[in-house]
Amino acid sequence: MSKSWTLLLLACAALTRPAVAQTPLKLGFGDAVRMATGQAPSVALSALANDEARARVRQTRSSLLPDLTAGANWIERTFNTQALGIPFPKSNLFVLPTIVPAFDDYDARLTLNQTLFDFSSIRRVRASEAQVQSSLAAGDATTETAAQVAALAYLRAARAQASVLARQADSAIAAEVLTLAQAQLQAGVSGTIDVTRARTQVAVAAGGLVVARNQYDQARIALARALGIDPTTEITLTDTLTSGLGVAQVPGDRDSAVTQALGARPELKAELARGDAARLSKSAINSELLPRVGLEADYGINGATWSNSFATRQIAVGVSIPLLDGFRREGRAAEQDAVIQESQVRQHDLRQQIAADVAGALLDLHSAEAQEGIASQQLTLAADELSQAEKRFKAGVAGSIEVIDAQASMIRARDAVIDSRFGAAAARVALARAAGAARTLH
């Protein structure tokens, strides 16, 4: 009867799981990190932002490259000589018309404009190239964040999977105790209350298994979203929540980790590039005071008819020197000064924040590793307590309450081990992100 009761509860728990008719995707921890850094939506968007920055460089460089246009037109028009200010002597013999009759004019021409010297435009091109470097660094920061998000999502799924296994073990222990209680009842050693208590524990364990499986399914959906794949994809985790999960290429001591972080964190690289771009932009604004030399040339044919057209051309070299623009140039330069100072403040704050991130992650890691060791000891003691309680109950020297208390201690110990392992792995992920090495997680 106890087996039938247990199987019924487990079957009810299994029926609550949604059926997914798909080929499972086998995924390891390192695979998830690499997949996120390659195809996560945020990474794809940052790559497009980099393309936009490169396109802006080409747009800025166009001011230094030749501008060639071709055109052709036909005009039929009349002229009013008086409106044009053309004086004709008055005569008593004849009257000159003031309206010139309509005539045709055909013109086809190639026009070339070329900047020969413009130091301001050169500086603008270099500023836009610095902005590309800033965009690339910002993209690296997005990739690091995507790796961290995917790693944590995988760890949560692994923790949920471990919880499912723990609840299955709880159900098995509860079923064993129920069998033992029924045997004790038949032998006249214990009363019906012990069997009722054991059945209650079986039901509680089945309910916990239902909750754990739902959390596992939810965690896999969240993992799929972090990876940028279909949320309905059935994911099978190939890595379990072990003590060594979430390792990255990060030094163990604080000073070395901070040094690595200062050289690797993409947020700092992006801010340095933004500062360079602001300085180059200010230089470009100041260079607008220098002369600009340009070439303009055109060549084409012109005439009253196409068959009676003649070649015409024009070449001109011009020099322009800006003198006064209402002090707009000075205002733009002052704005870039403020941008440069803001960047310097952010760089200083980022360096301090990076050092704080590394120090905090190391503290969390050391604490989590200590908690992991304590939780392992707690699990060993809880297993011994449960074994002794079952033996005492079987021998008839103790009631089911003692066994139930031992079961509760075992459940808490299992959860403590799972949580401590998750905390240690999450701390390793945080340390990798703080050191700019989240993409090396494995």
Contact in structure between 313 and 299 (CB atoms under 8 Å)? yes
In angstroms, the CA 138 to CA 146 distance is 12
264, with CB counted inside 10 A (0-12, 13-18, 19+), is middle
**Phi and psi at residue 193, to the nearest 5°:** -60, -35
Look at residue 423 in the predicted model and tell me its pLDDT.
94
Find the range with the poorest average confidence among 134-138, 160-164, 323-327, 347-351: 323-327
Closest CA to 364 of 434, 417, 416: 434
- Mean pLDDT across the stretch 300-306? 88
At 396, the pLDDT band (50, 70, 90 cuts) reads confident
Look at residue 373 in the predicted model and tell me its pLDDT.
92
- Mean pLDDT across the stretch 74-91? 75
- Could you tell me the two tokens for 252? 């163990």
Q: Where are the domains of the chain?
A: 2-66+117-289+330-440
Contact in structure between 428 and 248 (CB atoms under 8 Å)? yes
Residue 142 has pLDDT above 50, yes or no: yes
The count of other CB atoms within 10 Å of the CB of residue 170 is 23
Mean predicted lDDT score pLDDT of the chain:
88
Provide CATH code, domain 2-66+117-289+330-440: 1.20.1600.10
**For the sheet containing 309-320, what is the strand order?**
67-80, 99-117, 292-303, 309-320
Strands (E), 203-291: 235-237
Closest CA to 298 of 76, 21, 113: 113
pTM reported for the whole predicted model: 0.82
Closest CA to 142 of 218, 41, 221: 41
Residue 349 has pLDDT above 70, yes or no: yes
First to last CA, the chain: 48
Residue 147 has pLDDT above 60, yes or no: yes
The count of other CB atoms within 10 Å of the CB of residue 83 is 9
- Sign of the torsion angle spanned by Cα atoms 351, 356, 361, 366: positive
Q: What is the largest CA-CA distance in the chain?
A: 151
Q: Which residues of 271-293 are buried (b: 16+ CB within 10 A; e: fewer)?
A: bbbbbbbbbbbbbbbbbbeeebe
Tokens 């794809």 sit at which residue? Answer: 44
- Sign of the torsion angle spanned by Cα atoms 168, 174, 176, 179: negative
Find the range with the poorest average confidence among 57-71, 281-295, 386-400: 386-400
156-184 residue pLDDT tens: 999 999 999 999 999 988 888 888 888 88
